[in-house]
Amino acid sequence: MDSILVTGNGPLNGQIPIAGAKNACLTLMPATLLSEEPLTLTNAPRLSDIKTMTQLLQSLGAEVSSLQDGQVQAMSSHNIDNHVAEYDIVRKMRASNLVLGPMLARLGQAVVSLPGGCAIGARPMDLHIHGLEALGAEIELKEGYLHAKAPRGLKGAEIELSFASVGATENIMMAATLAKGTTVIRNAAREPEIVDLADCLKKMGAHIDGAGSSSIIIEGVDRLHGATHPVVTDRIELGTYMLAPAICGGEVELLGGRMDLVGAFAEKLDQAGINVSETDKGLLVSRNNGRVKAVDVTTEPFPGFPTDLQAQMMALMCTAEGTSVLEEKIFENRFMHAPELTRMGANIEVHGGTATVTGVERLKGAPVMATDLRASVSLILAGLAAEGETLVNRVYHLDRGYEHVVRKFSGVGAKIERIKGS
Ligand code: EPZ
């Protein structure tokens, strides 16, 4: 397994390009199953999760070709000859469950393995099941697989989500595009990736209103046609790289960054004494002189502070002046980066879903272990600001969600290299 060696090297300066959003691309790709005509996605990120989704769609009979070094996913689901999403693919990536809604709508049946838990939590699918059953699907759990069928097709319904689940909103919205009649999703997730999916589905001929608000209305249509759609900018990659000048000092321009994608996060950075401003190419981030101030953070569904930026923000708070309380309200086990940061001299106390961080002047480099995608990059951020060398092990987690990490950080002056594993 590869590792990444980071050496604290002072302020960072320059530009970092931000890629298309992993979490948008992973829901846009299954949308190809809704139409017999080709769907092409541009600005797709080059990530291992995208390769996994490609394998899954191909296993169902879709044709997927990654063109232009993976930045274009040209897909055609003319012949879908398999409706079973096998465990050995689904267990690698929870987002595989996003083929459930489209397959039910297109084929009237689907067998999708339950993803099983992952490092950050149990990741159940009860909200997906509740919503799809409301549309008329019959879903049974047998030997770890969801067996779903809609023999009489799907019918529009009013659905209230008990939690604004991103994946459940996406599965229900995609299924509802081909259901008979009107579907209303209440307490829908409001993430920008939901808006991006709705924009793509509308280009394919779907009738959707309200995406981005907590009530989404979908008028079913008989069929959807092909389209070409650019994947929206990745707000989590954007937020991650905004923290590089915040934790190291210096000034970095994030190319393609948009303030509307990182509202609550940028507000927290402002409270901590970090300057964020808009330029004609993206966002410019710099740190005032002196230490960052400690701020409290509670993760919430969009437009609140994103859970996917909690680990990275904790790294910044480890070097802040004062004490910060971070509350993780979305996932039940998302503080695995805390003991690793403690190895670097951080002062963190975790009790259940709350972490109390008392900032220290400077972290010290140390060998650490990446445990999940966002934890791995928080360790790199900590290493960039630490004294000495930090060796981050198990960086395959990183490859799932961050393309060209070494190139992007070294492009602004970081001392960072990837070490091939045995
Ligand atoms: C999406 O996961 C993202 N993944 C996650 O990003 C992100 O952290 C999460 O949304 C929250 O923003 C993709 O988009 C591919 P949820 P998803 O359904 O859809 C519970 C990353 O690092 N829940 O909003 O799985 C669930 O257990 C990843 O890029 C149920 O209880 O998130 C969790 O506690 C990590 N029942 C909470 O809701 C359900 O049926 C949020 O889940 C569904 C979810």
Amino acid at 214: S
Q: Are 393 and 1 in contact (CB under 8 A)?
A: yes
Quickly state the pLDDT bin for 91 (edges 50, 70, 90). Answer: confident
Ligand 1 site residues, Cβ closer than 6 angstroms: 22-23, 26, 94-95, 121-128, 163, 165-168, 307-308, 330-331, 373-374, 401
What does the block give as tokens for 86? Answer: 């096998």
Residue 115 has pLDDT above 90, yes or no: no
Does domain 3-18+234-419 bear CATH number 3.30.2420.10?
no
Q: What percent of the chain has pLDDT over 70?
A: 99
Q: How far apart are CA 346 and CA 349, in angstroms?
A: 10
What does the block give as tokens for 31? Answer: 């949308």
Q: What is residue 20's predicted lDDT score, i.e. its pLDDT?
A: 98
Atom 4 of ligand 1, nearest CA residue: 23
Q: How far is CA 393 from CA 338, 360, 375, in A?
A: 15, 24, 12
Question: What value does the mean pLDDT take over residues 108-116?
Answer: 90
Q: Which residues lie closer than 8 Å to 226 by C-beta, 6 or more apart?
A: 35, 37, 38, 39, 40, 204
What does the block give as tokens for 336? Answer: 């695995």
List beta partners, residue 387. Answer: 364
In the chain, the N- to C-terminal Cα span, in Å, equals: 6
Q: Are 341 and 379 in contact (CB under 8 A)?
A: yes
pLDDT-wise least confident of 36-45, 241-250, 368-377: 368-377
Q: How far apart are CA 371 and CA 377, in angstroms?
A: 10
**The CATH fold of domain 22-230:** UDP-n-acetylglucosamine1-carboxyvinyl-transferase; Chain (3.65.10)
Query: Which of ligand 1's atoms lies nearest the C-alpha of 164?
Result: 24
Q: Across the chain, what does the average pLDDT equal?
A: 95
Query: What 3-state DSSP class applies to 403?
Result: coil
Q: Are 299 and 307 in contact (CB under 8 A)?
A: yes
Q: How far apart are CA 345 and CA 320, in angstroms?
A: 13
With the most atoms of ligand 1 within 8 angstroms of its CB, the residue from 126, 165, 240 to mutate is: 165
Full DSSP string of 345-369: T-EEEEETTEEEEE--S--B--EEE
Residue 319 has pLDDT above 90, yes or no: yes
pLDDT-wise least confident of 123-127, 217-221, 357-361, 362-366: 123-127
Q: What percent of the chain has pLDDT over 90?
A: 90
Query: What 3-state DSSP class applies to 100?
Result: helix
Query: Which of ligand 1's atoms lies nearest the C-alpha of 129?
Result: 40
Full DSSP string of 123-163: ---HHHHHHHHHTT-EEEEETTEEEEE-TT--B--EEE-SS
Q: What is residue 201's predicted lDDT score, i.e. its pLDDT?
A: 98
Strands of the sheet with 158-160, listed across from one edge: 158-160, 182-186, 215-219, 207-209
What is the CA 279 to chain-centroid distance, rounded?
25
User: What is the torsional sign of CA 94, 123, 195, 309?
Assistant: negative
Residue 57 has pLDDT above 80, yes or no: yes
Atom 25 of ligand 1, nearest CA residue: 167
* For the chain, domain boundaries: 3-18+234-419, 22-230
Question: What value does the mean pLDDT take over residues 113-142?
Answer: 88
Residue 261 CB coordination number (10 Å):
25
- Going by their DSSP bridges, the two strands 215-219 and 39-42 should be labelled as unpaired
Note the pLDDT tens digit of each residue in 275-305: 999 999 999 999 967 789 999 999 999 999 9
Q: What is residue 92's predicted lDDT score, i.e. its pLDDT?
A: 87
Quickly state the pLDDT bin for 421 (edges 50, 70, 90). Answer: confident
Note the pLDDT tens digit of each residue in 207-223: 999 999 999 999 999 99
Cα of 350 vs centre of ligand 1, distance in Å, is 22
Note the pLDDT tens digit of each residue in 10-53: 999 999 999 999 999 999 999 999 999 999 999 999 999 999 99
Strands (E), 43-108: 63-67, 72-76, 84-85
Residue 122 has pLDDT above 90, yes or no: no
Question: What value does the mean pLDDT take over residues 152-181?
Answer: 97
Residue 121 has pLDDT above 90, yes or no: no
Q: What is residue 117's predicted lDDT score, i.e. its pLDDT?
A: 67
Burial (0-12, 13-18, 19+ Cβ within 10 Å), 107:
middle
Query: Which of ligand 1's atoms lies nearest the C-alpha of 125?
Result: 40
